Structure 1
Amino acid sequence: MLFVTLTLLTLLPYVTCKPPHIIFIVADDLGWNDVGWHNDAMYTPNLDKLASNGVILNSSYVQPVCSPSRNCFMTGYYPFHTGLQHSAIIPEQAAYLPSNFTTLPQKLKELGYVTHMVGKWHLGFCNWKFTPTYRGFDSFMGYYNGAEDYYEHTIVGGYDFRFNTTVFHPSKGEYSAHTIASRAIDVINAVDPDAQPMYLYLPFQSVHEPLEVPESFERIYANISTKSRRTYCGMISALDEAVGNITSALRSRGFMNNALLVFTTDNGGPSYTAANNLPLRGAKTTLWEGGTKGVAFVYSDTLLKKTKYTNTEMMHAVDWFPTLLTLAGGKPDAGMDGVNQWATVSNGAPSARTEFVYNIDEIDKNAAIRVGQYKLIEGSPGAFNGWTPLPPMLETVVNEMFPPYQLFDIDADPTEHFDIADQHPDVVKRLQDRINFHRTTAVPANYPLPDPASNPKHFGGNWSPGWC
């Protein structure tokens, strides 16, 4: 009898273990040097507390711009495998995440999850089948496009805000970060944490341009003389407050007893407006580390075995899909670009990958790959190629000439000061071969010309599906 009792007690934690709640927060256009744990001039106390008590991911890579990164989060596939490798989707384009790719929320729903999204979609909307509630979300409140006014929710002459599929107008004069946080808290209050696991996807509008923020947040940075930088920093603090309110609601409702919170940016900061990526080189839209090495962390009260440290293991945006799906009890499809990194983020094990592709873009005629310590860039990395200081000195477009290939040792030279291609032709050749191998698997970029059928005047002044 004693043996049976001990056996049952040993097995009990595995028998009663429930799939965890997953909260996936995406900041938009957040620079490497724009959070408190990298820059003590930033006021981000809520994010700092979560990051310092969780695991700071110091080598977590994303795509150079918005839509491609969101593609990675949703599918686990590189954008050059889905057709979203070139730039971000603009409002008038019939571009989209192809419907033959199963999204993470669709997979999680199969496992019994309730799935909710609040914020920015930016994966296509020309047909209803490409919109959030048709791609696995039980509810959606937010907008389809890549940017809009934080108060009026307008972009390029049209209104863009929805509750599920219905045009929705939040309270007049309410700031976007507050709108998103308020809806997230409503979802949290409506879900029973003990009855069903929840996937809550929160891709904030913050801190993408236009640069707008309530004055109370801008005043935090009164010592900054440059208006654009002062406003941008205030937007970050507004985002921080929103995250703090959401995590407080999660804790008060009991979700944090069994939850994983992921925080990541979608790309590097646009230093050409007001962000900063020091000491990294480059900016949003570029293949430099400043455009692709993303601020990120994970936090949990109960699920992480090793915490309060900085993890330097290699991870890519495509890895979140298989990592979270496996954590939820599912099994990723064979052939997916992403790999399960739960052992890495939960207990510091070596990364499950030694290679990733930054991007392959046949329109811009550039590409980049990382293999071990080495990074190879093919063609021009982009238009913003320096180490932008903090304002008032903002970077301008510099059309530099680059050799066909540049090689950097990212372990020894993380800020990409020294091109060592001439010293290591064998490494250049090996990485060229890897890029060419991946290029054979790429699909053409879906980046069509603007379609007049998209014009909001056809839909009562709203950006709306129904034109492709």
Structure 2
Amino acid sequence: MADDLGYNDVSYHGSEIWTPNLDQLAVMGVRLENYYTAPQCAPSRAQFLSGRYSIHTGTQHANFAPCRPVGLSLEYPTLAEEMQKLNYSTHMIGKWHLGHHKEDYMPTNRGFDTFRGFLLGSGDHYKHSKKYGNRDGIDFYEGTTPFNNTYGMYSTHVFTRRAENIIKLHAKDEGKPMFIWLSYQAVHTPTQVPANYEAMYRHIPDKNRRRLAGMVAALDEGVGRVVQALKDAGVYDNSVIVFSTDNGGQAGAGSSNYPLRGNKNTQFEAGVKGVGFVSGPVLSRSGAVSEELIHITDWMPTLIHLAGGDESQLDIDGVNQWPSINSGTSSPREEILLNMDELEVSSHPRSQSTVFDTRIQAGIRWQNWKLLTGDPGYHLWVPSPSQDYSLYNSIAEGITNRKAALNETVFLYNINLDRAETLNFVDMMPDLAANLLAKLSAYQNTSVSAYNPPYDRRCNPSKNGGFWGPYVGKIRKSKTKSEDENRQQQRENRRKLESTKEPPRDRTETVPIIESNNGQCLLLNMLKREEERIEEICDQEK
């Protein structure tokens, strides 16, 4: 799985970025050109691992922020746990982003035999650290143990080597099948890459695009090395390789989703149309392009079926897509719920429907049609970077991923005829729009509330040895009597010292700040919970 890889970041979609290994696998397998994900990292991963729509796991609202005690609920069995039941060895490598506030949420407690990688949504690709507000810490683990032996090593290379080593060791364990979730950090921000990969694209004038191209090159190389490791271990002929991005690309960081509308974090095609394919000698056909509807929840039942399990016993939203992928039959899907976030409501004064509140951000794909409601997010079309890097840069840098500033709350597109979503059919086909709104209403009746707990100050890495990691339910060391006495003495000393100073200003008081150059006087309201307000702003990760 790639992170934030855009539709136009692979050469088989016409990109100027060369991806020979991905292209070869796609040509030898089946390209999925009507494949959908969530518009953000954590919700996509939750759907992949649980086989359930976000509305059925409470993960429909936003990415999992470092200091919110949230993750994929323990009540939902994971794909890895189901694989373990089928006697598979299971390995997780790379980005987790499915909960870390309690140790129970970490990969080796969710069905994976081994884990090496990081827990949060992003971080430095070399230091393996994450700065979040005024908190800063290392984010790298071996199982449930903080692990920092990879400091200074590029994450794409670290995760590739880990996969190679697991495959080599697996070759010695004859008879036991293996499931690996290799979840690369690339090409998520920050855009960092070794100089030799960036140098391959020195002709690209836009710095962000050039660096992202280098990141894609390193990712593509890594995929090629993993495939070679499968061949060297003698297990390639019995392997199925699934490649997927978790969501659309971030144009503001050098990615491209051209010619699709929108960006990462939106319900438009650029946010939810995933780059994906299936490859490997097990497939009955190759060189195929599938236009059948497939959703990221479908991987769980599809892989369980391939592993010899009974996917019909799973209580999930995903469906087994193997007959469609392998034989070219019609997809068992007619529709995909893209998302429904009742906490994300547009500013329009009233709904345009009595069946479903169209101010709610929601989306559904049905046959060739796609209906969106509420505020879908950034709504413009970012041009192809290779056609005009200057224009691409000027538009990409202005992306905010927030409000769409549209006068409507219902959008109806024919994706088969208009994949760029340029023509809204809602006024021309009101009956179809009404039927799709009724479908959204039916889904709403089955949804669970979005779980979005407040920040927990205990998340600070400084309280965990400098590492991001579990912070809820930890047993605090009891203080001895002498420690209590020392603290009491320190408080007495501070009181004596402060009695000789000017009384401190009330934090809720408005304090004037030095006048700026243009003569305007700025005011700063120092509120008692200012730190939490800052953390709320930080929560909106790009």
Say whether the fold is shared (TM-score over 0.5).
yes
Which residue is equivalent to 2:104?
Answer: 129
1:272 is displaced (CA, Å) by 2.2
Residue pairs, 1:261-276, within 5 angstroms? 261-276=241-256
Whole-angstrom distance in 2 between the partners of 1:464 and 1:376: 40
1:392 is displaced (CA, Å) by 2.9
Whole-angstrom distance in 2 between the partners of 1:318 and 1:298: 15
Whole-angstrom distance in 1 between the partners of 2:150 and 2:86: 35
Which residue is equivalent to 1:455?
Answer: 460
Residue pairs, 1:184-223, within 5 angstroms? 184-192=163-171, 194-223=174-203
For the 8 Å contact 2:298–2:321, the answer to whether it is kept is: yes
The CA deviation string for residues 157-198 of structure 1, in whole angstroms up to 9 with x for no partner, is 011000111111234421000000111111111113642100
Q: Which amino acid counterpart does residue 439 of structure 1 have in structure 2?
A: Q
The CA deviation string for residues 345-394 of structure 1, in whole angstroms up to 9 with x for no partner, is 11111111000100000111300001111111011111353344423333
Which residue is equivalent to 1:92?
Answer: 67
Point out 4+ residue stretches in structure 1 off by more than 6 angstroms: none
For the 8 Å contact 2:107–2:115, the answer to whether it is kept is: yes
Partner of residue 57 from structure 1, selected from 26, 29, 32: 32
Residue pairs, 1:303-314, within 5 angstroms? 303-314=282-293
Residue pairs, 1:295-444, within 5 angstroms? 295-301=275-281, 303-332=282-311, 333-365=313-345, 366-390=361-385, 391-395=392-396, 396=398, 397=400, 399-444=404-449
For the 8 Å contact 1:125–1:464, the answer to whether it is kept is: yes
Higher relative contact order (CA 8 A, sep 6+): 1
1:399 is displaced (CA, Å) by 4.0
For the 8 Å contact 1:151–1:172, the answer to whether it is kept is: yes
Which residue is equivalent to 1:114?
Answer: 89
Whole-angstrom distance in 1 between the partners of 2:78 and 2:35: 21
Q: Which amino acid counterpart does residue 308 of structure 1 have in structure 2?
A: G
For the 8 Å contact 2:248–2:257, the answer to whether it is kept is: yes
Whole-angstrom distance in 2 between the partners of 1:451 and 1:402: 38
The CA deviation string for residues 311-351 of structure 1, in whole angstroms up to 9 with x for no partner, is 11110000000010011111233541000000111111111
For the 8 Å contact 2:375–2:404, the answer to whether it is kept is: no
For the 8 Å contact 1:57–1:297, the answer to whether it is kept is: yes
1:257 is displaced (CA, Å) by 1.5
For the 8 Å contact 1:380–1:402, the answer to whether it is kept is: no
Which residue is equivalent to 2:216?
Answer: 236
Q: Which amino acid counterpart does residue 52 of structure 1 have in structure 2?
A: V
Q: Which amino acid counterpart does residue 227 of structure 2 have in structure 1?
A: T
Which residue is equivalent to 2:235?
Answer: 255
1:66 is displaced (CA, Å) by 0.3
Whole-angstrom distance in 2 between the partners of 1:311 and 1:225: 35
Partner of residue 181 from structure 1, selected from 152, 156, 160: 160
The CA deviation string for residues 77-125 of structure 1, in whole angstroms up to 9 with x for no partner, is 0011101111210111101100010000100110010001110000011
- Secondary structure of the structure 2 residue equivalent to 1:108: helix
The CA deviation string for residues 399-439 of structure 1, in whole angstroms up to 9 with x for no partner, is 42241211011111111000010000000100000001001
- Secondary structure of the structure 2 residue equivalent to 1:249: helix
Whole-angstrom distance in 2 between the partners of 1:207 and 1:84: 23
Q: Which amino acid counterpart does residue 373 of structure 2 have in structure 1?
A: E
Q: Which amino acid counterpart does residue 119 of structure 2 have in structure 1?
A: Y
Unaligned runs of 5+ in 2: 346-360, 386-391, 474-542
Whole-angstrom distance in 1 between the partners of 2:57 and 2:28: 36
For the 8 Å contact 1:143–1:162, the answer to whether it is kept is: yes
**Equivalent residues, number:** 442
For the 8 Å contact 1:142–1:161, the answer to whether it is kept is: yes
Indicate the larger mover: 381-390 or 209-218. 381-390
Percent of pairs identical after alignment?
39
1:27 aligns with 2:2: yes
For the 8 Å contact 1:129–1:135, the answer to whether it is kept is: yes
Structure with max Cα Rg: 2
1:307 is displaced (CA, Å) by 1.0
For the 8 Å contact 2:9–2:15, the answer to whether it is kept is: no
For the 8 Å contact 1:161–1:168, the answer to whether it is kept is: yes
- Secondary structure of the structure 1 residue equivalent to 2:336: strand
- Secondary structure of the structure 2 residue equivalent to 1:437: helix
The CA deviation string for residues 245-299 of structure 1, in whole angstroms up to 9 with x for no partner, is 1111111101111010000000000112211001111111000011000000111
Indicate the larger mover: 382-391 or 362-371. 382-391
For the 8 Å contact 1:282–1:388, the answer to whether it is kept is: no
For the 8 Å contact 2:138–2:148, the answer to whether it is kept is: no
Whole-angstrom distance in 2 between the partners of 1:348 and 1:172: 46
Which residue is equivalent to 2:117?
Answer: 142
Indicate the larger mover: 185-194 or 52-61. 185-194
1:44 is displaced (CA, Å) by 1.0
Which residue is equivalent to 1:14?
Answer: none
- Secondary structure of the structure 1 residue equivalent to 2:423: coil
For the 8 Å contact 1:344–1:351, the answer to whether it is kept is: yes
- Secondary structure of the structure 2 residue equivalent to 1:321: helix
For the 8 Å contact 1:59–1:293, the answer to whether it is kept is: yes
Whole-angstrom distance in 2 between the partners of 1:52 and 1:322: 24
Whole-angstrom distance in 2 between the partners of 1:257 and 1:419: 47
Which residue is equivalent to 1:72?
Answer: 47
- Secondary structure of the structure 2 residue equivalent to 1:133: helix
For the 8 Å contact 1:170–1:179, the answer to whether it is kept is: no
Whole-angstrom distance in 1 between the partners of 2:305 and 2:288: 23
Q: CA RMSD in A?
A: 1.2
Whole-angstrom distance in 2 between the partners of 1:386 and 1:93: 33
Which residue is equivalent to 2:357?
Answer: none
